[in-house]
Amino acid sequence: FDCRGFARKRYGPRDGGLILVGDVEPREAGSLAQECFGDWAAQDEEEPARGVPARDHAGVLLVHRPGAVQSEIRIGHAGICRTDEQYFTIQVLNLILGGSFTSRLNLNLRERNGYTYGIRSRFLARRSRGPFLVSTAVETGVTGSAVAEIHREISALASEGPSDAEVESARSYLSGVFPLKLETTGQIASQAADLIVYDLERDYYHTYRDRIRAVSVEDVVRAAQTLLRPAELRTVIVGDADAVEVQLEDQSLGPVERG
């Protein structure tokens, strides 16, 4: 593998940006940038954007770890890009599904069934479509039951939608916690970098809370119906495949492969 060639193609100033947050004047920032990066050569060539493989069917991949006492579980499908018009709606939807301690997934698998210490879902929105992903770890003996409950919660939210109370609680939390993400210079720098990486509007953070508050129950219902697709869920389990595979036999999860 040509590591240097890989770096030359992908790391360079052509599409980059420099974020400085702190006690620094614009003129000084320009001088520092020139001093530190002025001789940084552009990439050899522009790397073309990669699309998301079309996978519209469910399936299971078992990665065998003989004798493993627990299973790492990842379940998901293709999600959205960062500039998707439903991005703010997705933040509300995801918080309800698996984005907080009181989410549906956590209340089910941790509180009600005691399968795990924690579980989360995420829509990893990138410049192109990132994954929708549910992550957790459980004991080997309850792997099949945990997978079934995850699929059940996703399917229920997709078909029935959230309650008014769930949407209101999620909106309130997301708008209320947002200022806490801008407390330190490091946090501000990270948020500012997103403006460049994802080509967001310059007033993006000024309007963030208003956009979250504007999300309606109907918006979340539509997003759940279109962006949660149970029939396309891919399940990856790393654990004792011999012990786990028999637990999945009665579930309609698609073809099972070993990796």
Task: Report residue 116 as tokens.
Answer: 């795990």
Q: Give tens-digit pLDDT for 105-145.
A: 999 999 999 999 999 999 999 988 999 999 999 999 999 99
Token couple for 38 = 């002025």
What pLDDT was estimated at residue 50?
67
Report pLDDT for 164: 98
Q: What is the pLDDT of residues 177-194, one digit of tens each?
A: 999 999 999 999 999 999
Q: How far apart are CA 238 and CA 140, in angstroms?
A: 10
**pTM higher than 0.85 for the full model?**
yes
From 5-9, 73-77, 169-173, 183-187, the region with the lowest mean pLDDT:
5-9
Q: Given this model, what pLDDT does residue 148 score?
A: 98
**In the predicted model, is pLDDT for residue 33 greater than 70?**
yes
240 CB-side CA count, 13 A: 15
Crossing angle of helices 87-97 and 204-213, rounded to 10°: 60
234 Cα distance to chain centroid? 15
Residues 6+ apart with CB under 8 A from 41: 12
Q: How distant, in Å, are the alpha carbons of 125, 127, 135, 231 from that of 80?
A: 5, 9, 18, 17
% pLDDT > 90, the chain: 81
Report pLDDT for 64: 98
Q: What domains are defined for the chain?
A: 3-37 (no CATH), 59-258 (3.30.830.10)
pLDDT-derived band at 47 (thresholds 50, 70, 90) equals: low
3-state secondary structure of 125: coil
The answer on pLDDT for 1 being more than 80 is yes
* pLDDT on residue 17: 84
Q: What is the mean pLDDT of the chain?
A: 93
